Chains A and B, each alone.
Chain A
């Protein structure tokens, strides 16, 4: 039985209430952390656990915590990034609506470890019903003495604020999120200074993803070493994977890092295979920003090894033949998917969501959308393919925040791996069928 750190009790009736959550061992981490541990000891356990930022960047969480500046007399803030908007990703939505107390408990323990007395959960505004669930749970926790003044008689005070966003993908970028939390447009800030030094209200701030914060309680209860014992190499612990697309069992799965991609797609425990009568063509493994891979490349590396669901294995081969684990937004596509149309759709998304601050992104995303639109609608020329590659290259690395890269990678990778299909679209503008390799146990061309 695979270890479940976050979702073990997710199907227990009433788990969204404090009473049932406590019956399942909830809030023990708060008691242990506040009564028996020092803040530094908690940071140390999180470091030992090796847990990496689950929002997509994969930066070691303990290290991020240890960068937090601690000048005398200046408040420090913890901000939870619940602005989940990366296409293909819906794990935080799932976690918060089903297990609100898991996030709140993690927030209390993490805030205590960082010395924050006011902490925020920035939830995307569309999830109004989830905000209600969280606020209700916060009121319960407060009534039970886990929040507010003098928590459990320790002298430690914490207020938890749920902040709604306004519908902007860019606010998932941590400095844009802080701008938004200050009541401004979500324009990312130049770094440095990093939020750890100057974040919310120019005070030291840590911004962590929902799933990252939710793991902290387990780490406090069981120790960082126990967490690090799960997984493979530097990919420690478990990860929530949002599985969508043409699979038999879409949903959110908590996996131990290290499961093979093939098992994840075909085993009944997870996706349960591709829908009947159809075959895997391509996968976007970590949310729409990461490079798309054709079936054979997502299942095996270029060296012929089975690819695993780990940070390292998915990125094996770099961007030439690999991709990224990212946020764990796993979108599987069968042979009915038109890669050109799909790429155009994502290009339109990034164009819509670019904040407009940096010219390469503001202009480049628009050009990519426009060029892909004309290829998809039968007016493309062969030159357009190289033009797309060129525009993508000029966006990448030339913007304040990673949205530019996130817009460039899906386009560049689609052309890298499915160039035939783009050419086919241009030479056969109004024909529906597309060439491409699919996986039927072994690789076949259709």
Chain B
């Protein structure tokens, strides 16, 4: 939740991953690595601060603005600090058809925050997203790579209790 430290650098393991990603593309086309590298950066810092984006621009030898315009276009990149667990819930038609709206109201009530906010203990951030391609198992939300499907209030209780441990 605090500002990132001034000395920004990928961990050695992540730097190796970044280099491996850049090597996937033809020579001179290293900008193709931008989206994947921003995911790696977000995994390390939790969100993308200006400093992190400048750092990525340096690695790819592109202008910082080329990173900003991409980071602001795609919804998966967090441009503000987020909590430990970001709950990204699907608000699109098929999930709502399956009764998603009351479940999401329940989550907000339970955590005492509105969509877009983070709990005071820094544990949870709530984010609305569009269709997650799991419509047959709605309502759905995602926390990092994990999908949680066929959500009910009881299931939400369980998941949040589990993650609060």
Which A residues are closer than 8 A to B by beta carbons? 75, 84-90, 92-93, 118, 124-129, 132, 159, 161, 163-169, 180-186, 201, 242-246, 250-252, 284, 288, 329, 331, 333, 337, 341-342, 345-346, 349, 352-353, 355
Partner of A90, one of B62, B98, B133: B133
Closest chain A residue to B28 by CB distance?
A201
21 contacts between A and B (CB under 8 A): A75-B26, A85-B131, A86-B131, A87-B92, A87-B94, A88-B93, A88-B131, A89-B135, A124-B133, A127-B133, A128-B39, A165-B76, A166-B70, A166-B74, A168-B73, A183-B34, A183-B62, A242-B136, A244-B135, A331-B135, A349-B93
The answer to whether B92 and A243 touch across the interface, beta carbons within 8 angstroms, is no
Contacts of B75 in A (CB 8 A): 166-168
Q: Kindly provide the distance from the CB of A361 to the nearest chain B CB, expressed in whole angstroms.
A: 15
The answer to whether the Cβ of B5 comes within 8 Å of any Cβ in the partner chain is no
The answer to whether the Cβ of B144 comes within 8 Å of any Cβ in the partner chain is yes
Closest chain B residue to A125 by CB distance?
B76
| Cα of A246 to Cα of B31 in the assembled complex, Å | 44
Q: How large is the interface on B (under 10, 10 to 19, 20 to 34, 35 or more residues)?
A: 35 or more
The answer to whether the Cβ of B113 comes within 8 Å of any Cβ in the partner chain is no
The answer to whether the Cβ of B59 comes within 8 Å of any Cβ in the partner chain is no
Which B residues are closer than 8 A to A by beta carbons? 24-26, 29, 31-36, 38-39, 60, 62, 66, 69-70, 73-77, 88, 91-94, 96-98, 129-138, 142, 144-147
| Cα of A168 to Cα of B75 in the assembled complex, Å | 7
The answer to whether B34 and A353 touch across the interface, beta carbons within 8 angstroms, is no
The answer to whether B133 and A89 touch across the interface, beta carbons within 8 angstroms, is yes
The answer to whether A126 and B35 touch across the interface, beta carbons within 8 angstroms, is no
The answer to whether A128 and B144 touch across the interface, beta carbons within 8 angstroms, is yes
| Cα of A333 to Cα of B38 in the assembled complex, Å | 39
The answer to whether A169 and B34 touch across the interface, beta carbons within 8 angstroms, is no
In the complex, given contacts A88-B131, A165-B35, A183-B32, what are 7 additional A-B residue pairs having Cβ atoms less than 8 angstroms apart? A86-B131, A87-B130, A88-B93, A167-B129, A185-B69, A250-B137, A353-B130
Contacts of A92 in B (CB 8 A): 133
Contacts of A84 in B (CB 8 A): 133
Contacts of A242 in B (CB 8 A): 135-136
The answer to whether B133 and A126 touch across the interface, beta carbons within 8 angstroms, is yes
| Given known A-B contacts A89-B133, A342-B93, A244 and B138 have beta carbons under 8 A apart | yes
Q: Kindly provide the distance from the CB of B104 to the nearest chain A CB, expressed in whole angstroms.
A: 13
Q: Kindly provide the distance from the CB of A368 to the nearest chain B CB, expressed in whole angstroms.
A: 15
The answer to whether B97 and A245 touch across the interface, beta carbons within 8 angstroms, is yes
From B66, B97, B129, B145, residue with most partner A Cβ within 10 Å: B97
Contacts of B62 in A (CB 8 A): 183
| Cα of A129 to Cα of B94 in the assembled complex, Å | 22
Q: Kindly provide the distance from the CB of A189 to the nearest chain B CB, expressed in whole angstroms.
A: 15
| Cα of A259 to Cα of B32 in the assembled complex, Å | 43
Contacts of B26 in A (CB 8 A): 75, 118, 201
| Cα of A246 to Cα of B88 in the assembled complex, Å | 23
Q: Kindly provide the distance from the CB of A333 to the nearest chain B CB, expressed in whole angstroms.
A: 6
The answer to whether B130 and A85 touch across the interface, beta carbons within 8 angstroms, is yes
| Cα of A118 to Cα of B101 in the assembled complex, Å | 44
Q: Kindly provide the distance from the CB of A152 to the nearest chain B CB, expressed in whole angstroms.
A: 23
| Cα of A164 to Cα of B41 in the assembled complex, Å | 14
Contacts of A184 in B (CB 8 A): 31, 66, 69-70
| Cα of A250 to Cα of B92 in the assembled complex, Å | 17
Q: In the complex, how many residue pairs between chain A and chain B have their CB atoms under 8 Å apart?
A: 148
The answer to whether A183 and B146 touch across the interface, beta carbons within 8 angstroms, is no
Contacts of B131 in A (CB 8 A): 85-88, 169, 288, 349
Contacts of B98 in A (CB 8 A): 244-246
The answer to whether B32 and A93 touch across the interface, beta carbons within 8 angstroms, is no
Q: Kindly provide the distance from the CB of B34 to the nearest chain A CB, expressed in whole angstroms.
A: 4
Q: Kindly provide the distance from the CB of A181 to the nearest chain B CB, expressed in whole angstroms.
A: 6
The answer to whether A182 and B29 touch across the interface, beta carbons within 8 angstroms, is yes
| Given known A-B contacts A75-B26, A183-B34, A166 and B93 have beta carbons under 8 A apart | no
| Cα of A345 to Cα of B142 in the assembled complex, Å | 20
Contacts of A167 in B (CB 8 A): 74-77, 129
The answer to whether A252 and B97 touch across the interface, beta carbons within 8 angstroms, is no
The answer to whether A245 and B133 touch across the interface, beta carbons within 8 angstroms, is no
Contacts of B145 in A (CB 8 A): 128-129, 132
Partner of A87, one of B60, B70, B76, B135: B135
Contacts of A246 in B (CB 8 A): 97-98
From A126, A169, A342, residue with most partner B Cβ within 10 Å: A126
The answer to whether B136 and A251 touch across the interface, beta carbons within 8 angstroms, is yes
Q: Kindly provide the distance from the CB of A252 to the nearest chain B CB, expressed in whole angstroms.
A: 7
The answer to whether B76 and A345 touch across the interface, beta carbons within 8 angstroms, is no
The answer to whether A168 and B97 touch across the interface, beta carbons within 8 angstroms, is no
The answer to whether A163 and B35 touch across the interface, beta carbons within 8 angstroms, is yes
The answer to whether A331 and B97 touch across the interface, beta carbons within 8 angstroms, is yes
The answer to whether B136 and A345 touch across the interface, beta carbons within 8 angstroms, is no
Q: Kindly provide the distance from the CB of A235 to the nearest chain B CB, expressed in whole angstroms.
A: 23
The answer to whether B94 and A165 touch across the interface, beta carbons within 8 angstroms, is no
The answer to whether A252 and B136 touch across the interface, beta carbons within 8 angstroms, is yes
Q: Kindly provide the distance from the CB of B61 to the nearest chain A CB, expressed in whole angstroms.
A: 12
| Given known A-B contacts A164-B39, A183-B34, A346-B93, A329 and B142 have beta carbons under 8 A apart | no
Q: Kindly provide the distance from the CB of B103 to the nearest chain A CB, expressed in whole angstroms.
A: 15
The answer to whether A125 and B35 touch across the interface, beta carbons within 8 angstroms, is yes
Contacts of A245 in B (CB 8 A): 94, 97-98
Contacts of B144 in A (CB 8 A): 128
Partner of A93, one of B39, B60, B134: B134
| Given known A-B contacts A126-B132, A166-B74, A345 and B69 have beta carbons under 8 A apart | no
